[in-house]
Amino acid sequence: MAIGETAEVSEAQIAVHWREEEYIQPSRRFTGQANASDPAIRERFAEENFPECFREYADLLSWDRYWHTTLDTSNPPFWRWFVGGRLNASYNCVDRHLETRPNQAALIWVPEPEAEATQAITYRELYRRVNAFASLLRDYCGLRTGDRVTFHLPMVPELPVAMLAAARLGIVHSQVFGGFSGNACGERIADSQSRVLVTMDGYYRSGELVDHKVKADEAVARAAELGQKVDRVLVFRRHPGEYASKTPMVEGRDVFVDDVIEEHQRAVVAPVSLPAEAPLFLMYTSGTTGRPKGAQHSIGGYLAYVTGTSKYYQDIHPGDTYWCMADIGWITGHSYIVYGPLSLGTTSVMYEGVPTYPDAGRPWRIAERLGVNIFHTAPTSIRMLRKVGPDEPAKYDYHFKHMTTVGEPIEPDVWRWYHEVVGKGEAAIVDTWWQTETGGFLGSTIPGLEPMKPGSCGPGALGIYPIVYDEEGNEVPRGSGKAGNICIRNPWPGIMQTVWGQPERFVQTYYQKYCRNPQSKDWHDWPYFAGDGAVQAADGYFRILGRVDDVINVAGHRLGTKELESASITVAEVAEAAAVPVIDELRGKAVEMYISLKPGFSAGADVEEKVVHAIESEIGKIARPKNVWIVPDMPKTRSGKIMRRVIAGISNFADVGDITTLANPEVVEQIKHHVQSEKVARGQVPRELSAQEMSELQAFGKAD
């Protein structure tokens, strides 16, 4: 454990050198109207009231039958929430608002082309569209409760409509992020055994009408290779009646939705009353092996949790105009564009395109025109908007009462720009730490009750009791500012139910490391391992350091090193590949690939390009590496393991740590010389790393 020990000592030292940021108080105007304004709320959700405290969230929903058991822990760690209860998610997000606010906009969709009209979809219209699409899924596609359906849709209103239509029937939806490649989509289709794919011909991105249907053909082919036949592809048209793709429609398999929906337009499909623990959707995410993990979320627990946290942490009131700029293809969009906000009956804004298109004033024009008062985005967008338009927000007359940052650590400096310039010093900010697996927020301040601290997410969310462990499972002293692995001691309603089709992987990935007794039926013995490093300050606030496993967080998107490496070795010349994170000014982190070639091949730009192409086609453009380095050999341990941490140090011009235990320490100098002199030539020398960034790099691959 020599290496682990070194890392731990230096992390502790780094923590001491961190400057404690000052508290910033929310304005009186915000606190005066906040949903969570009674300080007793912390007591209501204190541990002695667990698990019954979560009734408060479940009571925000409309149940067909009330539950009898709040939490069943008889089969750890497969927790069951609100057992005996029955409900429907689509009913809760649509039907129940028809009486009180039929003419209020449920969704406002802003197309990327600025000349194209914005669409406001009222709750009444949403009800009609959801029913029509549900009828299509059931009567045209033959889908039934419990079947899975894969969506590969861009940011268009058809996506939430399709989700709510599936939810109406208890069909488990699996939306694959539109930017993922056809191959990545195909793998997820196969893993979830979907026989229906819903896609769109094209969508706008940076002014281009991108051909998206082409990916459906790749996806269906990859799924077939993996043994899953897709017999129906429903294709929405971005401009009904016109076809934006070059690929032909496949006879008998592909249909345009606008051609077949006509006879379903007036259908009324009764929402199916489902058990609280029935699955609502799958959301695939990356892990430490190549196979994606389908995080399975429940209807009752998940919907209760996102509704409760939307109310208290997003401070959503029905009359607000709420805009979360995330993509619905990620968990943030599922929980905090669709399910949470619509369950509360608010107006949720969605935007099709790139925030800086056609210029850096775009988001602020949208906010001004629509009267957005709650804004939600990620550090990567904040950094980009600051870089290209630092003075733009001041030019527009909008006022946010509340803003969110999510997805990656935010630098205090970037946080302050967000607060002062975007929020005009008026908005309360929450830095929400959570994950695909957790359904909703794990760490955040309560916006009207707890002060903000730039760079820290805050304490555990209501009813969430975090703890920091060292590698051996000892608790890192609370409030010590010493780094360790952050875990959650208790179950909560939003936690995933399992990894779809891989229950053993669910146990192994999230619980094995710190489970005290695998026989125990007591939840206290089953802390949830989040896979993030963190420190806790004396005031109880957590600062998240980033992943401790083989996951690289690029612009808030999780990429598994194994996925990147498997894609690279599909190139015939490549013998071995290693992916490492490199600190990036805008995206937080970018990927660099290190490649060694099979004997008889020589390095060249053509191989580098093939690697880039392979990654884009296996995963998607978001995974495109910043550099591909072809090296004579990888630094390895005596047992043959590639030391990613050493090469990450080289890529970041940081300390490579102790290399005396390597089998081939001499290659380190060689690689370092080659890579760093090339980076100097390319003008890619990073500025000096902050304590937090250094700490993050040390955490990377610590599980190796």
Angle at 691 between CA 685 and CA 692, to 5 degrees: 95
Shortest distance in whole angstroms from residue 543 CB to ligand WTA: 8
Nearby residues of 73 by Cβ (< 8 Å), 6 or more positions away: 79, 491, 521, 522, 523
Q: Which of 329, 294, 331 is nearest to 191 (CA)?
A: 294
Nearest-CB residue for ligand WTA: 436
Residue number, 90 or 561, with CB nearest to ligand WTA: 561
Q: Which of 588, 582, 553 is nearest to 436 (CA)?
A: 553
Shortest distance in whole angstroms from residue 606 CB to ligand WTA: 34
Shortest distance in whole angstroms from residue 476 CB to ligand WTA: 18
Instruction: Tell me the H-state helices in 295-435.
Output: 300-312, 331-333, 340-343, 362-370, 379-388, 412-417
Residue number, 110 or 544, with CB nearest to ligand WTA: 544
Report the alpha-carbon distance of residue 135 to residue 116 in Å, rounded: 29
Nearby residues of 519 by Cβ (< 8 Å), 6 or more positions away: none
Residue number, 486 or 574, with CB nearest to ligand WTA: 486
Shortest distance in whole angstroms from residue 439 CB to ligand WTA: 10
Report the alpha-carbon distance of residue 300 to residue 330 in Å, rounded: 20
Shortest distance in whole angstroms from residue 532 CB to ligand WTA: 5
Shortest distance in whole angstroms from residue 557 CB to ligand WTA: 7
- Residue 697's Cβ-side half-sphere holds a number of Cα atoms within 13 Å equal to 31
Report the alpha-carbon distance of residue 414 to residue 453 in Å, rounded: 13
Determine contact, residues 397/508, Cβ cutoff 8 Å. no
Strands 105-110 and 347-351: parallel
Determine contact, residues 46/697, Cβ cutoff 8 Å. no
For 204, phi and psi rounded to 5 degrees?
A: -90, 135
Buried b (16+ CB within 10 A) or exposed e, 83-113: bbbbbbbbbbbbbebeeebeebbbbbbbbbe
Look up residue 594 and give its two tokens.
């290190």
Shortest distance in whole angstroms from residue 313 CB to ligand WTA: 12
Shortest distance in whole angstroms from residue 330 CB to ligand WTA: 6
Strands 321-324 and 347-351: parallel
Residue number, 330 or 523, with CB nearest to ligand WTA: 330
Shortest distance in whole angstroms from residue 376 CB to ligand WTA: 11
Residue number, 125 or 408, with CB nearest to ligand WTA: 408
Residue number, 313 or 398, with CB nearest to ligand WTA: 313
Residue number, 131 or 285, with CB nearest to ligand WTA: 285
Residue 457 corresponds to which amino acid?
Answer: C
Shortest distance in whole angstroms from residue 546 CB to ligand WTA: 5
Shortest distance in whole angstroms from residue 422 CB to ligand WTA: 17
Cis peptide before 77 (omega within 30 of 0): yes
Q: What is the DSSP string of 244-285?
A: --SSPPPTTTEEEHHHHSGGGTT---PPPPEETTSEEEEEEE
Residue number, 536 or 553, with CB nearest to ligand WTA: 553
Determine contact, residues 449/440, Cβ cutoff 8 Å. no
Residue number, 432 or 568, with CB nearest to ligand WTA: 432
Residue number, 407 or 459, with CB nearest to ligand WTA: 407
Report the alpha-carbon distance of residue 550 to residue 249 in Å, rounded: 39
Residue number, 159 or 622, with CB nearest to ligand WTA: 622
Buried b (16+ CB within 10 A) or exposed e, 565-597: bbbbeebebbebbbbbbbbbeebbbbbbbbbbb
Shortest distance in whole angstroms from residue 464 CB to ligand WTA: 14
Shortest distance in whole angstroms from residue 40 CB to ligand WTA: 26
Determine contact, residues 700/547, Cβ cutoff 8 Å. yes
Q: Which residues bind ligand WTA (CB under 6 A)?
A: 285, 330-332, 406-409, 431-436, 457, 530-532, 544, 546-547, 553, 558
Residue number, 347 or 456, with CB nearest to ligand WTA: 456
Residue number, 277 or 532, with CB nearest to ligand WTA: 532
What do you get for the CA distance between the two ends of the chain, in Å?
11
For 8, phi and psi rounded to 5 degrees?
A: -65, -45
Q: Is 640 exposed, middle or buried (0-12, 13-18, 19+ CB in 10 A)?
A: exposed
Shortest distance in whole angstroms from residue 547 CB to ligand WTA: 5
Report the alpha-carbon distance of residue 72 to residue 523 in Å, rounded: 10
Residue number, 444 or 490, with CB nearest to ligand WTA: 444
> Helices 561-568 and 605-618, interaxial angle, to 10°?
130
Shortest distance in whole angstroms from residue 295 CB to ligand WTA: 8
Residue number, 320 or 431, with CB nearest to ligand WTA: 431
